[in-house]
Amino acid sequence: MNKKVAIIGSGFGGLALAIRLQASGLDTVIFEKRDKPGGRAYFYEEEGFHFDAGPTVITAPHIFQELFDLTDKKMEDYIELIPIDPFYRLIWPDGEVFNYNSDMDALYSQIEKLNPKDVDGYKKFLKFSNAVFKEGYEKMVDHPFQSIWSMIKVAPQLILLQSFRSVYSMVSKYIKHPKLRQAFSYHTLLLGGSPYSSSAIYSLIHALEHKWGVWFSKGGTSALIAGLVRLYEDLGGTLHLNYEVKSIETNKNNEIHSIVNENGEEVEVSAVASNADIYHTYNDLLSDNKIAQRKTKILKRKKFSPSLFVLHFGLRKKHPQLAHHTILFGPRWKELLKDIYKNGVLPEDNALYLHAPSVTDSTMAPEGCSAYYALAVVPNLGKLDIDWSKEKDRYKNIIYQQLEDRCLPNLRDDLVVERVFTPIDFQKELNAYEGAAFSMEPLLIQSAYFRIHNSDQKIKGLYFTGAGTHPGAGVPGVVNSAKATARIMIEKLDHG
């Protein structure tokens, strides 16, 4: 019997890779630790409330279309995406509201209200963002950077696009009003990066959202995951849930030959693509391999993203006045991010993201009720190793208070269900190093060639897909990482 290609983890990156490999004729199997697929895109169902655990902002829907295009299946038979407008509603502590949306005239008039001169500056920023999009997304996002030469080749474009500057600094070059500077630079936080240190390359997110819009998967992001799992299984792939891989076995030539699970069962494989955390893969799964252990030491010196405090709650009431996605900025910004990224301080005045899917999709909560999650970026466990089991109730109430003061008055009177996911849960449930929510930070010195490569050059048969490899975190990032990795794997395994 032919040995299968094993994929460890069923996050978006793992599923997208498995679909690509399976569609190319390779025989694959996914091993997933948890009881449901999706990784960070897991979900909870409680008393009729449906809570997506992770990604809610779906951009670049063509990345899914591309997967279906590899098969004879139609995307509309598997998933349904609904456009969201405004993309985001931004609210500041003084009550100022900015609806960031696709209607350019509406956008210009809101910018004009804050600072007339910034309309022109915004147009210049958009032009810059489009140029970065062309170079950074269209040419690099699904291109594996396996050698230093591949990096040197794109260096002139990177210099031209001033990628050595930060997103915030580029936005500030064009836009002067402090609120507008926040409005057009906070996006890197969705990928785990501070706007003050993430490369200006990431300003392409702005162009990407304008080009393809912001979408919600009907039934929640988990319905999108379910659609991808169905596609994968219809192609003949096998998904094993509740199956934690404990080790990846190599021979003395550093060739992978098998994986071993928690019960000691060994499965022979022709190759392994890890969608699991990169540090976990090298440190724990390859603990007997010297090359991997050297990699572990290098990884320890890298900067990992912050973690998240995620508060899910269901209310016995609807709030149709809310936008689907709201960002509630706090009183501080630069200093706040410094506390999270550098000082390892848990902020009492954090900015929040509020997800209110019930305003778009009534199936997310029982009749007359509504489902939410509030999310705060918090230091990872490497920066702040506190006892979250003790801290979580206090922090939860700080968040509830903020929400009650600013957009959901007396919400605690209407609570039906709630659940909290802290940095410790990222570490325990997802094997995330330091409880980081987005793997390594998206810094220029940790991007492309300088990120973990899509295939390991020394351990033969070891590949990566997902947030830790190129291009990085975020749903478009990890689905494109699968494209880059599939390219190398199909070439190697078909013809190698």
Ligand X SMILES: Cc1cc2nc3c(=O)[nH]c(=O)nc-3n(C[C@H](O)[C@H](O)[C@H](O)COP(=O)(O)OP(=O)(O)OC[C@H]3O[C@@H](n4cnc5c(N)ncnc54)[C@H](O)[C@@H]3O)c2cc1C
Q: Is there binding between residue 187 and ligand X (CB under 6 A)?
A: no
Pick from 64, 438, 463, 464 the residue near ligand X by CB under 6 A.
Answer: 438
Specify the 3-state DSSP secondary structure of 51.
strand
Question: Which residues, in sequence order, are CB contacts of 255 under 8 Å at separation 6+?
Answer: 459, 460, 461
Please say which residue, 54 or 86, places its beta carbon nearer to ligand X.
54
Scanning 50-58, 65-73, 145-153, 194-202 for contacts with ligand X by CB under 6 A, the matching segment is 50-58
Pick from 207, 351, 359, 478 the residue near ligand X by CB under 6 A.
Answer: 478
Number of residues that bind ligand X (CB under 6 A): 37
Residue with tokens 């998240």: 308
Q: Is there binding between residue 51 and ligand X (CB under 6 A)?
A: no
Q: Is there binding between residue 351 and ligand X (CB under 6 A)?
A: no
Contact 99, 84 (CB under 8 A): no
Please say which residue, 167 or 245, places its beta carbon nearer to ligand X.
245
Burial class (CB in 10 A: 0-12, 13-18, 19+), 115: middle
Site string for ligand X, 198-237 (x = CB under 6 A): ----------------------------------------
Could you tell me the smallest distance in angstroms from the CB atom of residue 93 to ligand X?
A: 23
Q: Is there binding between residue 41 and ligand X (CB under 6 A)?
A: yes
CA distance 278 to 485: 15
In one letter, which amino acid is 57?
A: V
Q: In sequence order, which ranges of 184-333 are alpha helices (DSSP H)?
A: 204-212, 221-234, 278-280, 290-300
CA distance 474 to 62: 15
Q: What is the token pair recorded at 118?
A: 């910034």
Q: Is there binding between residue 54 and ligand X (CB under 6 A)?
A: yes
Pick from 466, 470, 484, 486 the residue near ligand X by CB under 6 A.
Answer: 466
Radius of gyration over alpha carbons of the chain, in Å? 22
Pick from 431, 446, 447, 485 the residue near ligand X by CB under 6 A.
Answer: 431
In one letter, which amino acid is 326?
A: T
In one letter, which amino acid is 486?
A: A
Could you tell me the smallest distance in angstroms from the CB atom of residue 357 to ligand X?
A: 11
Residue 34, phi then psi, degrees to nearest 5: -85, 175
Specify the 3-state DSSP secondary structure of 326.
strand
Could you tell me the smallest distance in angstroms from the CB atom of residue 321 to ligand X?
A: 22
Q: Is there binding between residue 305 and ligand X (CB under 6 A)?
A: no
Catalog residues that contact ligand X under the rule CB under 6 A: 8-14, 31-34, 39-41, 54-57, 190, 244-245, 275-276, 280, 308, 310, 375, 430-431, 437-438, 466-467, 473-475, 478
